[in-house]
Amino acid sequence: MPQDEKQYLVGKTLVELQDFCATIDEPRYRAYQLFYWLYTKQVAVFADMTNISKKLRSRLTEEAGIHVLEEVTRTESETGETRKVLFRTGDNQQVEAVLMKEGSRITVCLSTQVGCKLDCQFCATAEMGFARNLTVAEILNQFLLLQKISPERITNVVFMGMGEPFLNYPRVIGAAELINHQEGINLGARKITISTAGIVPQIRRFGSERQRFKLAISLNASDQATREKIMPIARQYPLPELLNSVREYYDITRNRPTFEYVLMAGINDSQEDAVRLVKLIGGLPCKVNLIPYNEIGGRYRRPTDEKIEVFLELLYNAPFTVTVRRSKGIGINAGCGQLAVSRN
């Protein structure tokens, strides 16, 4: 069978695998076997599915496939704690994903789109433009292939790679649900974080559906004018509307959101910015994650360590949790905001 006519099984739900089995005249229980081998055992070839007949394994090898992505290159940081992998899709698009180790935590950062259409000024992915959404299979395949190269079991997933996850909402949720599925990969919902630059209707949808996955919002400014300057999406969804949607999300789910705040020199790192940030968020139960900017060769710069410390001190008595994330993998362009591939 020609390669492009094959059905690839990674990314399919149990129901979809049952439908697939029906098309090849196999009983429904085969779907449970396939689900087990794909997501619990995470095999790469049909030959390893040992409780399936040799005849069917041969047929599956001929007519179907497992992985939809192909690894192109792998880059490792000097410490060996961060690995960035470039993947190629079936239609010759390319996306990057990152594997990071910090203590006992093994985190993967997954991409959800080829490029991004939001044009955030400080993000390398914006320079790619936008090609298309990734499928559930392509998103999930990043996880499975990163798990293969990880020396330990992945403990955390963040949808914070290339693209805006909430502009690919159904597929991102579908991939998260398969990662969370108790009879498959079985990673806890609270170990899975979905990030958004502030797509208000989808934040409201995320809350109304009572999704159990964690929500992170890329805030990056404490006033509307600054946010519009660095994040054009702010013109469509102004700060008051964004904050109202996040409060609604908390009121419905009682899950604390995380606000990501990338500190950029002379843009959003002043003492006035810090004071405004506390006032903006107010008493909303949440976490604020400060991320010193990872430079990508553009006009934005990382604040000095002294400036970062002053900003942090002004948040010391804030009524919310504050953390500082020192991005890993900066030397291999695997840090927050650094993912991008050439489309030439």
Regarding whether 153 and 22 lie in a shared domain, the answer is: no
Domain boundary among 29, 50, 65: 65
Regarding whether 90 and 116 lie in a shared domain, the answer is: yes
Regarding whether 320 and 184 lie in a shared domain, the answer is: yes
Regarding whether 216 and 128 lie in a shared domain, the answer is: yes
8-state DSSP, 98: E
Q: Is residue 108 part of a domain?
A: yes
Q: Is the pLDDT of residue 207 over 80?
A: yes
Q: What is the CATH number of the domain that holds 236?
A: 3.20.20.70
Task: Please count the other Cβ atoms lying within 10 Å of the Cβ belonging to residue 181.
Answer: 16
Q: Is the pLDDT of residue 337 over 50?
A: no
- Whole-angstrom distance, CA of residue 158 vs CA of residue 161: 8
Q: Is the pLDDT of residue 328 over 70?
A: no
Residues 137-156, mean pLDDT to the nearest whole number: 95
Q: Is residue 134 part of a domain?
A: yes
Q: Is residue 337 part of a domain?
A: no
Q: Is residue 147 part of a domain?
A: yes
Residues 159-183, mean pLDDT to the nearest whole number: 96
Regarding whether 150 and 248 lie in a shared domain, the answer is: yes
Q: What is the CATH number of the domain that holds 44?
A: 1.10.150.530
Q: Is the pLDDT of residue 120 over 90?
A: no
Tokens of 103: 């203590």
Predicted local distance difference test score (pLDDT) of residue 326: 65
Domain boundary among 65, 96, 116: 65
Q: Is residue 195 part of a domain?
A: yes
Q: Is residue 340 part of a domain?
A: no
275-284 per-position pLDDT tens digit: 999 999 989 9
The fraction of the chain above a pLDDT of 70, given in percent, is 93
Q: Single out the residue of 166, 215, 217, 219 nearest to residue 190, CA to CA.
A: 215
Average pLDDT, the chain: 90
Q: Is residue 202 part of a domain?
A: yes
300-313 per-position pLDDT tens digit: 899 999 999 999 99
Q: Is the pLDDT of residue 336 over 70?
A: no
Predicted local distance difference test score (pLDDT) of residue 122: 83
Regarding whether 206 and 162 lie in a shared domain, the answer is: yes
Cα angle for residues 221, 222, 224 (degrees, 5° grid): 80
Please count the structural domains in the chain: 2
Predicted local distance difference test score (pLDDT) of residue 298: 73
Domain boundary among 12, 33, 65: 65
122-139 per-position pLDDT tens digit: 887 777 888 899 999 999
- Would you please indicate which residues are annotated as catalytic (active-site) residues? 96, 336
Predicted local distance difference test score (pLDDT) of residue 99: 95
Task: Please count the other Cβ atoms lying within 10 Å of the Cβ belonging to residue 13.
Answer: 16
Kindly report whether the global pTM for this prediction surpasses the value 0.85: yes
Regarding whether 164 and 117 lie in a shared domain, the answer is: yes
Q: Is residue 256 part of a domain?
A: yes
- Whole-angstrom distance, CA of residue 276 vs CA of residue 292: 18
Regarding whether 198 and 59 lie in a shared domain, the answer is: no
Query: Hey, which of 33-47, 66-80, 280-294 has the most confident mean pLDDT?
Result: 33-47
Predicted local distance difference test score (pLDDT) of residue 300: 87
The fraction of the chain above a pLDDT of 90, given in percent, is 79
Radius of gyration from C-alpha coordinates of the chain: 21
Regarding whether 230 and 252 lie in a shared domain, the answer is: yes
Predicted local distance difference test score (pLDDT) of residue 295: 76
Regarding whether 155 and 36 lie in a shared domain, the answer is: no
Predicted local distance difference test score (pLDDT) of residue 4: 55
Regarding whether 45 and 113 lie in a shared domain, the answer is: no
Q: Is the pLDDT of residue 64 over 90?
A: yes
Structural domain containing residue 239: 70-332
Q: Single out the residue of 261, 259, 260 nearest to residue 303, CA to CA.
A: 261
- Whole-angstrom distance, CA of residue 227 vs CA of residue 298: 18
Greater confidence (4 vs 170) lies with 170
Q: Is the pLDDT of residue 224 over 50?
A: yes
Regarding whether 145 and 25 lie in a shared domain, the answer is: no
Residues 209-216, mean pLDDT to the nearest whole number: 97
Tokens of 331: 């030397």
